Amino acid sequence: MSKSSIVPLILCGGSGSRLWPLSRESFPKQFISIKKEDKFSLLQNTIKRISTLKNIKKLILVCNEEHRFIVAEQMRELNIEDFVILLEPFGRNTAPAITLAALKSIELEEDPTLLVLSSDHEIKNIEKFLKVVDIGFKFAEKNKLVTFGVVPKSPEIGYGYIKSKEPFGDILEGFDIESFIEKPDLETAQRLIKDKRYTWNSGMFMFKAKEIIKEINKYSPGILLSCKKAINKSKFDLVFQRLDKISFEKCDDISIDVAVMEKTTRGIVIPLDAGWSDIGSWESAWETSKKDVDGNYMEGNIVLENTKNSFIRSEHRLIVGIDLNDLIIVETRDAILISNKNSSQKVKNIVKNFKKDQIPEGYKHTKIYRPWGHYLSLVEANRWQVKLISVKPGEKLSLQMHHHRSEHWVVVNGTARVEVDEKVEVLSENQSVYIPLGSKHRLINPGKIPLTLIEVQSGSYVGEDDIVRFEDFYGRSDYL
């Protein structure tokens, strides 16, 4: 019997709020390089990590609407063209996402093996990780549902645990699963890590597509029915497959652990000891980083005196630290986090309050990515705003108009083709154009280098939702 192909499924959801202010809802941690030694984002490193696996079929990525162009752009940066992006209209946890990918994968091949990975994990020993994946593949070929359990190094209370029926040893092997344990308290976690039957639940899986569909149908048939309808009624938009919103809305918001793995008799756990981290907090970012002799991680313009065991990152300003210990300091253009290292898990609660209180720095970056490039909000007041806009070569903004503001564009670098009502003109560096309120207009970069311009907005309202869109190359119907 020939081996099936491997279809990697990369789950790209999550807001990464515990890594605020670097990670925010508009651009979360999976799309960011957390540390200076990383040339690529966590998502890109996830894909590069499995690039040497044999018999890989097309990648499947699952993400939400807001991040779709970020995912596509990061695939382009890796020169990857053979992929599918499934767009969830809203998050419904891992059981529906995996069900959708399993259904999609059997459109690519009769019964491939799914390798389910989170987009925001770090694994230092890639060679050992790939060996464990190879063992997982052998069990998956025998119709087992494989989960990878991380060998615990400390009594973590932020992870769930998996209990195997037998204690694991030094030989890489798979073990029948006895039970799953929710995130424990510290006393319980201290007891669990002394028992060689327990591993951390990594959220990574491997199974044949038809086998996981069969088990989902057995234990959560409603999810399978809703996902089938969402796929069958989906629409294609550029490289994206938009799932039917009405059908998908009926899916339970439930993890694959609760929906299937805790109930199935076919579950196998394979211990993984390869320097795994989910980079779930600034403390874990510090633990996995390269530090100096005083235990400090430093990135940016930083001067320290008598400072130890701290994570300090500056994006724009000089940071001076004197007589500090066990601190997290992260500076961005519009926010600064200062926290005791042991309290970094509490950042998530602060970010929740930001959103509840509608404090935009809690969930939105000043730099906003769009399919045509990005813009950076430089300064903003009630009736005016200044932005720095960058448009990639060959790309164009939508044909649009505004009810409440006029705009003035000044080209800083590159060439701009500007359409204002019926007039078309080409601008070069230091040239400008005025866009009156209510005028139909469009900006295009016809050149071979990025176009950079300053945009000055003025009017009674300068919010991003004051856009009436007439034509859009990227299929956007809203202001994104």
Divide the 480 residues of the chain into consecutive groups of 10 and give the mean pLDDT of each group: 82 90 93 87 95 90 91 92 92 94 94 96 95 96 96 89 90 89 90 92 96 97 96 89 94 94 95 92 92 96 97 96 97 95 90 90 88 91 94 94 96 97 94 95 96 96 90 67
Q: What is the pLDDT of residue 369?
A: 86
Burial track 84-112 (b if 16+ CB lie within 10 A, e otherwise): bbbbbbeebbbbbbbbbbbbbbbeeeeeb
Could you identify the residue written with the tokens 């005791």?
A: 340
Q: What is the pLDDT of residue 479?
A: 42
Looking at domain 6-277, what is its CATH homologous superfamily?
A: Spore Coat Polysaccharide Biosynthesis Protein SpsA; Chain A (3.90.550.10)
What sign results for the dihedral spanned by CA atoms 358, 364, 366, 370? negative
Q: How many CB atoms lie within 10 A of CB 252?
A: 15
Give residue limits of the domains in the chain.
6-277, 282-347, 367-471
C-alpha 470/C-alpha 79 separation (Å) is 32
Strand partners, 314: 331
Burial track 135-152 (b if 16+ CB lie within 10 A, e otherwise): bbbebbeeebbbbbbbeb
Distance of CA 360 to the CA centre of its chain: 20
> What digits encode the pLDDT tens for the residues 337-382?
999 998 988 999 999 999 889 898 998 888 888 889 999 999 888 8
Whether the CB-CB separation of 130 and 52 falls below 8 Å is answered with yes
Strand 235-237 with 198-208, pairing: unpaired
CA 59-119-168 angle, to 5 degrees, is 100
> What digits encode the pLDDT tens for the residues 139-195?
999 999 999 999 998 898 889 999 999 998 877 889 999 999 998 899 999 999 999
Dihedral angle computed from the Cα positions of residues 34, 35, 38 and 42, in that order, rounded to the nearest 10 degrees: -20
The DSSP 8-state label assigned to residue 413 in this structure reads: E
Locate 6 and state its tokens.
């491997």
C-alpha 239/C-alpha 71 separation (Å) is 11
Strand partners, 64: 88
Grouping H, G, I as helix, E, B as strand and the rest as coil, residue 108 is helix
Q: What's the whole-model pTM score?
A: 0.88
Locate 322 and state its tokens.
């004197």
> What digits encode the pLDDT tens for the residues 6-17?
999 999 988 889
Pick the closest to residue 305 from 321, 290, 329 (CA basis): 321
Q: What are phi and psi of 18, to 5 degrees?
A: -70, -10
Q: What is the pLDDT of residue 2?
A: 55
Query: Which CATH code, of 3.30.1330.60, 3.30.450.20, 3.40.50.920, 2.60.120.10, is assigned to 367-471?
Result: 2.60.120.10
H helices present in 245-371, as ranges: 245-248, 256, 282-287, 347-356
C-alpha 130/C-alpha 56 separation (Å) is 13
C-alpha 254/C-alpha 263 separation (Å) is 14
Q: What is the pLDDT of residue 101?
A: 96
C-alpha 206/C-alpha 58 separation (Å) is 16
Locate 434 and state its tokens.
């005025």
Domain 6-277 shares a fold with domain 367-471: no
Q: What is the pLDDT of residue 480?
A: 45
